[in-house]
Amino acid sequence: MIHQYITTSKLKKTIHFIIDWLVDIYVKLFLNISDVEIKNPQKIVFFSLGHLGDVLILSYIFPLIKEFYPNSTIDVVAPEWCLPILKNNPFLRKVIIHNTFHENRSPINFLRKILLQFNSLKKVIEELREQQYDVSIEGRISYPNGNRIAFKSKIKKRIGFGSGGFGSLLTNEIKFPKSNSFHLLEALLKELSVIGIKRQLSDIKSYYNCSVETSTDFSSLMRTISLPFLILHFETGNPNRNVNRDFLIKVVKKIVEETKFNLVLCGISNESNKFYSSLLSIVPNSNNRIINAVNKLSIDELFELSKYAKAALTLESLPAHLCAINCETISFYNNGAGSLFFPISNKKANVIHNHSNSKYCNQPNIINYFVKDIESIETYEIVEKLLIEISND
């Protein structure tokens, strides 16, 4: 069998290939896996064993399923750290928790992460078998995926990608779009086409349902913010995708000196607090223009804040997707996967990236800026131009 692999690491690709070669032989000799026709799926389960941004993007296709199959139920197998995104989703019946050691960023030791995964695996499989799902659909194109879990759970129709391994255990192994600049949702839409849902990327609308209540701290924060303001969120879960702090300070200095925008600095890390301290010491009058909201906002409150913002400046991260639902964004995609994870934006999303395969990407509401070096004069000039446009809007 021929499987696609998305990783650029030769070591990871070799490991995937060897494991899949052995699995392919086992399937061919001992199993009889064939496609099953299900005309009106009633119970559908998704696997998304990654991070917050993965499940947010995945959730955008839930309305399409409900449109085609209004009586169906949708469940998701996801790690517990994804609950803040899924807990208020109106299209979901339940979330089945499964933490994977590979994606676990908690401060516990590696062995503990492995034990937590394998201790929960049996319970997850038992629950999936009990539910007797008609269809499983994979929400990621990289390792880890739910292919092996779906097979062991005896789900009738298993739709997914072989790029994260164990593709031969699927009843329907989907191939990526041929374009080098496809979006993750275009791959997921190919999965939906297997169950009769024919839609394009332009048909998808981003959304997020948050809690009705906000904290008193959030209410107090909102009273201190003067309009118009910009959100700054310069954190990402992958250290390789960070942008040099000196470059970002230069951008913020430009905003303070040449625009009327106030700024709200968001994030959850100590590095963002250090960044705030640097701004106060380097940028004149920044203490009157920049509000430090680091570690003061939940995901829901960040989403609420973005409703009032003129724009948001972010790295490639959950806030890039979350803010793009409500306001214009300027996002730095440094050393990332490019268009695969560009925002699905209701507003204009300005994406500045150094991913060469994505330079000709033409996605709805995306203004595509390819640069060879994110931390360059070229990027700075692009941001300067965009800030003028936002100021005049």
Burial class (CB in 10 A: 0-12, 13-18, 19+), 127: middle
What DSSP character marks residue 158?
E
* Owner of token pair 């299209």: 91
Q: Distances from the Cα of 173 to the Cαs of 27, 297, 381, in angstroms?
A: 14, 40, 44
Please give the pLDDT value at position 103.
74
In this model, does residue 199 exceed pLDDT 90?
yes
**Is residue 186 scored above 90 in pLDDT?**
yes
The answer to whether the beta carbons of residues 256 and 284 sit under 8 Å apart is yes
Helices and strands per DSSP (H, E), number in the chain: 14, 13
Reported in sequence order, the residue ranges of the chain that DSSP labels E, i.e. its strands, are 43-47, 73-78, 94-97, 135-138, 157-161, 172-174, 229-233, 262-266, 290-292, 311-315, 328-333, 349-353, 366-370
Could you report the per-residue pLDDT of 274-328, keeping only the tens digit for each?
999 999 999 887 888 999 999 999 999 999 999 999 999 999 999 999 999 999 9
Which pLDDT does position 1 carry in this prediction? 67
Q: Determine what percent of the chain is predicted with pLDDT higher than 70.
A: 99
| C-alpha to C-alpha distance for 127 and 97, rounded to whole angstroms | 11
Sign of the alpha-carbon dihedral angle for 297, 300, 303, 308: negative
Task: Give the H or E element holding residue 56.
Answer: helix 52-59
Average pLDDT of the chain? 92
Residue 392's pLDDT band, with cuts at 50, 70 and 90, is: confident
Neighbours of 150 (CB within 10 A): 29
| Contact in structure between 42 and 134 (CB atoms under 8 Å) | yes
What does 366-393 look like in DSSP terms, one character per residue?
EEEEE-S-TTSHHHHHHHHHHHHHHHH-
Q: Is the pLDDT of residue 198 over 80?
A: yes
Longest dimension (CA), the chain: 72
Res. 95 pLDDT band, cuts 50 70 90 = very high
Task: List pLDDT tens digits, range 111-151.
Answer: 877 888 888 899 999 999 999 999 999 999 988 999 999 99
Does the pLDDT value for residue 8 go beyond 80?
Answer: no
Q: What is the pLDDT of residue 129?
A: 97
Confidence class of residue 217 from pLDDT cuts 50, 70 and 90? Answer: confident
| Cα–Cα distance for residue pair 116/109, rounded to 1 Å | 11
79 contact partners, CB below 8 Å, separation of at least 6: 49, 50, 97, 98, 99, 100, 103, 104
Which residue type does 330 have?
I
Residue 129 token pair = 């078998």
- How distant, in Å, are the alpha carbons of 114, 212, 234, 304 from that of 273? 32, 28, 11, 22
- Given a cut of 90, whether residue 238 has pLDDT beyond it is no
Which residue pairs from 68-73 have beta carbons closer than 8 angstroms and sit at least 24 positions apart in sequence? 68/195, 68/196, 68/197, 69/40, 69/41, 69/42, 69/44, 71/42, 72/41, 72/42, 72/43, 72/44, 73/42, 73/43, 73/44
With 90 as the cut, is the pLDDT of residue 109 above it? no
Of 216, 206, 205, 207, nearest in space to 301 by CA: 216
Nearest to 242 by CA among 255, 251, 233: 233
Least confident span in 84-88, 284-288, 327-331: 284-288
Chain position carrying tokens 């879990």:
149
Owner of token pair 């959304």 = 207
pLDDT digits (tens, 9 = 90+) for 358-386: 988 888 899 999 999 999 999 999 999 99
Higher-confidence position of 238 and 276: 276
Please calculate the CA angle 335-340-345 and round it to the nearest 5 degrees. Answer: 105
